[in-house]
Amino acid sequence: MNDFAKNALLPNGLRDILPLDAEFEADVVSRVSAHFSAQGYDRVKPPLIEFEDTLLDGVGAAMAKQCFRVMDPVTQKMMGVRPDMTPQVARIARTRLAGSPRPLRLSYAGQVLRVKGSQLRPERQFGQAGIELIGIDCPEADAEVAILAAEALVALGVPGVSIDLSLPTLVPALLSGLNLAEETLRGSLDHKDAAAVLALGGAAAALLSALLQAAGPAERALSLLAGLELPEAAAAERDRLAEVVGLIAAAIPEVTLTIDPVENRGFEYHTGISFTLFGQNISGELGRGGRYLAGGTEPATGATLFLDTVLAALPGPVAVQRAFIPVGTPRALAQALRAQGWVTVAGLQAVADNAAEAKRLGCGHVLMADGVKSVE
Amino acid sequence: MNDFAKNALLPNGLRDILPLDAEFEADVVSRVSAHFSAQGYDRVKPPLIEFEDTLLDGVGAAMAKQCFRVMDPVTQKMMGVRPDMTPQVARIARTRLAGSPRPLRLSYAGQVLRVKGSQLRPERQFGQAGIELIGIDCPEADAEVAILAAEALVALGVPGVSIDLSLPTLVPALLSGLNLAEETLRGSLDHKDAAAVLALGGAAAALLSALLQAAGPAERALSLLAGLELPEAAAAERDRLAEVVGLIAAAIPEVTLTIDPVENRGFEYHTGISFTLFGQNISGELGRGGRYLAGGTEPATGATLFLDTVLAALPGPVAVQRAFIPVGTPRALAQALRAQGWVTVAGLQAVADNAAEAKRLGCGHVLMADGVKSVE
């Protein structure tokens, strides 16, 4: 079979992960999950598929277009394959775990599937691993989820982890405080079009321009923001941001913090401090997070890591030592090798040259009568 | 929300796994995967969804009715959500890994989704973890996959693991050697209806009856089978079975072995020695395996564990020690606790009584100025 045929067998954006990458990915998920559980986040596992109406309810609505639907032959109701896990965890918190004490800390790791890829993420199936901190609205909670997500990346060895904080409620609070409509300005703000903002901003033009200019390293941004005369609600948002940044910087000073005061793309359902995680040697987002209302009513915040991008940001897997076990070797000897951390590959039929067979099967060593020998 | 409403939110056969079970399940998958990889089985990860025609090709055809379909908006071709992983791994072996040396050892672990549950397995989503040994046809290979699967269960702590071996090719070989058709007898054999077998079996009646009676503990079964005058091809099958049983018994004598010489339900695509794994305290199958032809041409054998049943066979998870960390505690102290294996739960806002708060949040301990204290 030629290469085209070999590769043409799977739909766009879906792929097979081969050795050694599949093992590496599983190991990364394990380590991220362990990092979260060590800080009290208990794992939950929602199903891959749910009734469409519950899956796409509330915060789930943002991903509705990305959700494959199928009909449930049992009830004839439509079901959806999950495009995102956060809404499912929020559902669990407000239903199955409604009686659990707050703040409730939950973690998750699993695959999601989307109808179409995007330019930034062509993959239609990818892994998410994340946390939700539910039932409390305070700067310490905002900071905790960002810190945990960033720490997890640092611990994995992602170089140059940075957190870009956003406050998607700031601009609306500012405009509302000045009785201005957001729609005309949203495009200009998204494109960081300073001239258009000045032209269209009306009474808010100066403040919005200042916000645009404040984007960048957190210390400078906060300093600029501190000097702005903001309406009360917007000022409270800004002060909260400053407090959260302070908490994060104190906890993980090695992580670069930046602020973008006007950014809100991808944060449509967020109700407070939000953030995106980046690494220095990778384009694309390593993760996202932020404050929202679970079930429309309960304060929550969380963070999700996108495992495909995280894996791309890491040095690849290191090959493990493999020892070939010739036919007839007592089982106990091979077991003893494995207990020492070797991977063993058993010969199934006798061969003339065990060392050659070991090499053929990708083993750097062979178990002989007098111990393990290198075959290089 | 009442219990009915809480539970009515998910479709039949789909459920949320909550703390501590979700963590436990992830841990079990990890351990099973590690057991397989230690013996040279390299992990692969096929996608959740593929083009329908490749997914349901060859050995995949057996599960066609259980496969949810969706249309790919990119190509307008139909895709299927995988109901089984073995055919995907076989596909990888003959395409992406066509050039890898044989025997090829691959492992996998992931979720599958089925359109309908069954009486034995009402779950429509469950986890599979398994191995494929591809490119060799010999008794040692037949034995290896059964041994590894059984060992994995024993290592997890499943009590009373047993392997029930089948040889779905034996009856066809016998009948073909006697020029008899199988269809009339298949029902009677499946129902172990000795009288019907005698009545309908013609020239094969005596032999088929003997096969029916041989079912049970392996030693006795092999002894009875050894005494039968079988046509050549059937005799070769029987002798192969005896050899494989000998290899398994020598390797894992603690595992009970039984033989059912006429059973073939669920082994429709198998071409040789097959088996089902059971545990003493659980109804339902812990796993299945056996020989087949990958891509219709390459000899292969493998084993799949069904994680939902495996988890049900195990004593449940043990709660981990959790320490509450009052607000204001230096981060380094909490980190030090985690390094010792504690799970830490951070207080987010100051409270009057830290011990009470610890208890409220399910922590058995609280970190005080003078160390970790029990709150019981």
- Measured CA to CA, the distance from residue B255 to residue B276 in angstroms comes to 13
CA torsion B134-B137-B143-B144 (nearest 10°) is -30
Rounded to a whole number of angstroms, the distance from the CA of B345 to the nearest CA of chain A is 5
Has residue B267 been placed in a domain?
Answer: no
Does residue B179 share a domain with residue B101?
no
- What is residue A221's three-state secondary structure? helix
- Measured CA to CA, the distance from residue A298 to residue A290 in angstroms comes to 14
Of residues B9, B98, B360, nearest to A54 (C-beta): B9
Residue B278, pLDDT > 90, answer: yes
Does residue B256 share a domain with residue B286?
no
List phi, psi (to 5°) of B317.
-70, 155
Can you list the positions of beta strands (E) in A233-368? 256-260, 274-279, 282-294, 298-306, 322-325, 343-346, 365-368
Task: Give the pLDDT of residue B4.
Answer: 45
- Measured CA to CA, the distance from residue A115 to residue A63 in angstroms comes to 10
Cβ within 8 Å, pair A23-B1: no
Does residue A123 share a domain with residue A12?
yes
Cβ within 8 Å, pair B12-A74: yes
Nearest-by-CA chain A residue for B6 = A95
List phi, psi (to 5°) of B71.
-95, 140
Place of tokens 């963590």: B23
Section A75-85 average pLDDT: 96
- What is residue B290's three-state secondary structure? strand
* Cβ neighbours around A57 below 10 Å, total: 18
Residue A159, pLDDT > 50, answer: yes
The tens digit of pLDDT for each residue in B112-166 reads 999 999 888 899 999 999 999 999 999 999 999 999 999 999 999 999 999 999 9
Domain CATH number, residue B40: 3.30.930.10
Does residue A80 share a domain with residue A68?
yes
Which residue, among B2, B10, B52, B320, would best test binding to A if mutated, counting the most A CBs under 10 Å from its CB? B10
Task: Give the pLDDT of residue B319.
Answer: 87
User: pLDDT band for position B8 (50/70/90)?
Assistant: low
Q: Which one-letter DSSP state was computed for residue B367? A: E
Q: Which domain holds residue A11?
A: 1-159+276-318
Nearest-by-CA chain A residue for B126 = A47
The tens digit of pLDDT for each residue in A240-295 reads 999 999 999 999 999 999 999 988 887 888 999 999 999 998 889 999 999 999 98
Residue B134's region, left for phi above 0, alpha for psi from -120 to 50, else beta, is beta
The tens digit of pLDDT for each residue in A286-345 reads 999 999 999 888 999 999 999 999 999 999 898 899 999 999 999 999 999 999 999 999
Of residues B13, B37, B141, nearest to A23 (C-beta): B37
Of residues B90, B78, B50, the one with CA closest to residue A12 = B50
Size of interface A-B (CB pairs under 8 A): 233
Q: Are B68 and B272 in contact (CB under 8 A)?
A: no
Task: Give the pLDDT of residue A225.
Answer: 95
The tens digit of pLDDT for each residue in A179-237 reads 887 777 888 888 888 888 888 888 888 898 999 999 999 999 999 999 999 989 899 99
Say if residue B284 is exposed, middle or buried (CB neighbours under 10 Å; 0-12, 13-18, 19+). Answer: middle
Rounded to a whole number of angstroms, the distance from the CA of A185 to the nearest CA of chain B is 34
Rounded to a whole number of angstroms, the distance from the CA of B175 to the nearest CA of chain A is 32
Place of tokens 């379909």: B69
- Measured CA to CA, the distance from residue A34 to residue A42 in angstroms comes to 10
Number of domains, chain B? 3
Q: Are B19 and A42 in contact (CB under 8 A)?
A: yes
Q: Which one-letter DSSP state was computed for residue B204? A: G
Cβ within 8 Å, pair A70-B72: no
Has residue A297 been placed in a domain?
Answer: yes
Cβ within 8 Å, pair B140-A348: yes
> In the numeric block, which tokens belong to residue A36?
């979260």
Does residue A258 share a domain with residue A155?
no
Cβ within 8 Å, pair A26-B10: no
The tens digit of pLDDT for each residue in B170-183 reads 988 888 888 887 77
Per DSSP, the residues of B88-156 read HHHHHHHTTTTTSPSSEEEEEEEEEE-SS--SS---SEEEEEEEEEES--SHHHHHHHHHHHHHHHHHH
Section B372-376 average pLDDT: 92
Does residue B330 share a domain with residue B201?
no
Task: Give the pLDDT of residue A4.
Answer: 45
Nearest-by-CA chain B residue for A53 = B9
Q: Are B331 and A251 in contact (CB under 8 A)?
A: yes
Range in A26-40, A157-171, A182-196 with the lowest mean pLDDT: A182-196
- Which residues of chain B have a CB within 8 Å of the CB of A115? 73
* Cβ neighbours around A300 below 10 Å, total: 31
Of residues A15, A26, A144, nearest to B346 (C-beta): A144
Nearest-by-CA chain A residue for B344 = A39
Cβ within 8 Å, pair B26-A23: no
Has residue A93 been placed in a domain?
Answer: yes
Does residue B366 share a domain with residue B232?
no
User: pLDDT band for position B75 (50/70/90)?
Assistant: very high
Say if residue A65 is exposed, middle or buried (CB neighbours under 10 Å; 0-12, 13-18, 19+). Answer: exposed
Cis peptide preceding A20, ω within 30 of 0: yes
Task: Give the pLDDT of residue B5.
Answer: 47
Rounded to 10 deg, the angle between the B21-38 and A21-38 helix axes is 150
Say if residue B221 is exposed, middle or buried (CB neighbours under 10 Å; 0-12, 13-18, 19+). Answer: buried
The one-letter code for the residue type at B184 is T
* Cβ neighbours around B369 below 10 Å, total: 7
Last residue of a domain, one of B214, B230, B262: B262
Q: Are B46 and B87 in contact (CB under 8 A)?
A: no
Does residue B151 share a domain with residue B4?
yes
Has residue B308 been placed in a domain?
Answer: yes
- Measured CA to CA, the distance from residue B94 to residue A125 in angstroms comes to 23
Cβ within 8 Å, pair B44-A327: no
Nearest-by-CA chain A residue for B340 = A38
Cβ within 8 Å, pair A9-B331: no
- Which residues of chain A have a CB within 8 Å of the CB of B50? 9-11, 14
Does residue B138 share a domain with residue B16?
yes
Cβ within 8 Å, pair B97-A18: yes
Please list, residue by residue across A199-214, b when 16 or more beta carbons sit within 10 angstroms of its beta carbon and e when fewer do. ebbeebbebbebbbeb
Rounded to a whole number of angstroms, the distance from the CA of A232 to the nearest CA of chain B is 24
Nearest-by-CA chain A residue for B252 = A331
Does residue B26 share a domain with residue B65?
yes
Nearest-by-CA chain B residue for A98 = B1
Has residue B114 been placed in a domain?
Answer: yes
Has residue B164 been placed in a domain?
Answer: no
Has residue B254 been placed in a domain?
Answer: yes
Task: Give the pLDDT of residue B265.
Answer: 81
Residue A149, pLDDT > 50, answer: yes
Share of chain B above pLDDT 70, in %: 98
- Measured CA to CA, the distance from residue B33 to residue A343 in angstroms comes to 13
Which residue, among B48, B118, B145, would best test binding to A if mutated, counting the most A CBs under 10 Å from its CB? B48
Cis peptide preceding B315, ω within 30 of 0: no
- Measured CA to CA, the distance from residue A28 to residue A13 in angstroms comes to 21
Does residue B364 share a domain with residue B333?
yes
Has residue B35 been placed in a domain?
Answer: yes
Place of tokens 């494959």: A68
Task: Give the pLDDT of residue B186.
Answer: 81
Cis peptide preceding B20, ω within 30 of 0: yes
Does residue B363 share a domain with residue B249?
no
The tens digit of pLDDT for each residue in B38-62 reads 999 999 999 999 999 999 988 889 8
Q: Which one-letter DSSP state was computed for residue A312? A: H
Residue A241's region, left for phi above 0, alpha for psi from -120 to 50, else beta, is alpha
Question: Radius of gyration over alpha carbons of chain B, in Å?
Answer: 26
Cβ within 8 Å, pair B96-A6: yes
> For residues B141 and A376, which has the higher predicted lDDT (pLDDT)?
B141
Q: Are B270 and B137 in contact (CB under 8 A)?
A: no
Mean residue pLDDT of chain A comes to: 93
- Which residues of chain A have a CB within 8 Å of the CB of B105? 345
User: pLDDT band for position A8 (50/70/90)?
Assistant: low
Mean residue pLDDT of chain B comes to: 93
Per DSSP, the residues of B42-66 read EE-B--SEEEHHHHTSGGGGGGGGG
Residue A5, pLDDT > 50, answer: no
Residue A1, pLDDT > 70, answer: no
Q: What is the pTM of this model?
A: 0.94
